[in-house]
């Protein structure tokens, strides 16, 4: 399991975006966990920037990130 705090802190520390909702699924020790985040930002450009930051942190941690359509 990965520490999700790094992902949340990477967004919350920007000053222009924050994680406002978190849903976490942890089915069993030997099964993969999943999380869903809702991010709020001051405008669409900053939301896109926050998504890029989130993607960078996810890649470094080896976490698969699926963006909304």
Burial annotation 4-15 (CB, 10 A radius, 16+ → b, else e): beebbebbeebe
Judge whether residue 3 has pLDDT over 80. no
Q: What is the rounded distance in angstroms from the CA atom of residue 25 to the CA atom of residue 37?
A: 12
Q: At 15, is the pLDDT very low, low, confident or very high (cuts 50, 70, 90)?
A: very high
Q: At 29, is the pLDDT very low, low, confident or very high (cuts 50, 70, 90)?
A: confident
- Are 47 and 17 in contact by the 8 Å Cβ rule? The answer is yes
Of 15 and 1, the structure prediction assigns the larger pLDDT to 15
Judge whether residue 45 has pLDDT over 70. yes
Q: What is the rounded distance in angstroms from the CA atom of residue 64 to the CA atom of residue 43?
A: 25
- Percent of the chain residues topping a pLDDT of 70: 96
């Amino acid at each position: 399991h990965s520490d999700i705090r790094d992902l949340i802190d990477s967004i919350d520390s920007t000053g222009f975006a924050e994680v406002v909702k978190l849903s976490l699924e942890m089915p069993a020790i030997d099964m993969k966990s999943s999380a869903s985040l809702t991010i709020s930002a001051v405008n669409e450009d900053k939301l896109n920037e926050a998504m890029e930051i989130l993607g960078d942190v996810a890649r470094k941690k080896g976490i698969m990130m699926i963006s909304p359509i």
